[in-house]
Amino acid sequence: MLDNSDLNAMQENFPFWEDLNKEEKSTILEGTIRFTHKKGAIVHEDRNKCTGLLMVKTGQLRIYIISDTGKEITLYRLFERDVCVLSASCLIRNITFDVHIVAEKETTMLRVATDVFKTVGSVNPKVLDFTNELVSSRFSDVMWVVEQVVFMSFDKRLAMQLLELSAIEQSDTLSVTHEALARDLGTAREVVTRMLKRFQDDGIVALSRGGITITDHDALYQLT
């Protein structure tokens, strides 16, 4: 059952909500459930299994692609109030790729079933406008990934990633593995380890068993 806070979240984060009539609202509410995934749980992994539109209430999702050999690259992350459209890519014609979604923290989300969204979208163009704008946003996110991968040197990309994770965690101490950084950046763990050691030699980070501490924020920022 949805509670008042779920209803508020939908009101606040679905810009089309006020344009729905009473019937459309109740169709969507009936097709929506709230659920929680533990840290590390796979939320979505197959295009053919259309998970539905996901709204993050609390927690954090990582959206990534994965190769046949298990190599990964992170496309973007979603946080509180963000809505994931690619988990409902079956809604969208011409999306031919598949993304995977993992909960990076314990994450509570609302899921609007795909067919409900389709039904309301077919009569209310504001609903379609919303999904189309989301698609364009994610397209822009992915273009940013292309620019980073193709145009930027790896030291710069790693520095940017450490600063981003530090901003997300609001801490200079990151409990992130070299493996996880490699998955974010689409490279091999050894490449991350080598560059982190260089950063450590330069006095920018301190490496420990538990993770990475940024010891010179300014120097790291200079690299970006």
Looking at 2, 29, 90, 128, which residue binds its own copies (CB under 8 A)? 128
Q: Which stretch binds its own copies (CB under 8 A): 8-16, 36-44, 49-57, 69-77?
A: 69-77
| DSSP code per residue over 38-99 | -TT-EEE--TTS---EEEEEESEEEEEEE-TTS-EEEEEEEETT-EESGGGGGGSTT-----
Residues with Cβ within 8 Å of 206's Cβ and at least 6 positions away in sequence, in order, are: 200, 212, 213, 215
Q: Six-digit token pair at 58?
A: 């609390």
State the amino acid at position 148 in one-letter form: Q
| Coil, helix or strand at residue 191 | helix
**Sign of the dihedral defined by the CA atoms of residues 171, 192, 157, 59, in that order:** negative
Rounded-to-integer distance, Cα 139 and Cα 160, Å = 20
DSSP 8-class letter at 31: T
Site string for its own copies, 76-105 (x = CB under 8 A): ----------------xxxxxx--------
For residue 179, state whether it binds its own copies (rule: CB under 8 A). no
Residues 20-59 that bind its own copies (CB under 8 A): none
Query: Cβ 38 to its own copies, closest distance in Å?
Result: 28
Which CA distances in Å does 83 have to 32, 39, 72, 150?
14, 19, 22, 28
Piece of the chain touching its own copies by CB under 8 A; list 15-23, 33-41, 138-146, 196-204: 138-146
Radius of gyration for the chain, computed over Cα atoms and rounded to the nearest angstrom: 19
Among 12, 39, 40, 144, the residue binding its own copies under the rule CB under 8 A is 144
Q: Which of 139, 175, 190, 198 binds its own copies (CB under 8 A)?
A: 139
Is residue 135 at the binding interface for its own copies, with CB under 8 A as the rule?
Answer: yes
Q: From the CB of 35, what's the least distance to its own copies, in Å? A: 27
Binding-site member from 3, 18, 22, 150 for its own copies (CB under 8 A): 150
Task: Please identify, using beta-carbon distances, which residue of 5 and 151 lies nearer to its own copies.
Answer: 151
Q: Does 223 bind its own copies (CB under 8 A)?
A: no
Residue 160 is a binding residue for its own copies (CB under 8 A): no
Q: List contacts with its own copies (CB under 8 A).
A: 65, 67-69, 71, 73, 75, 92-97, 125, 128, 132-140, 142-147, 149-151, 186
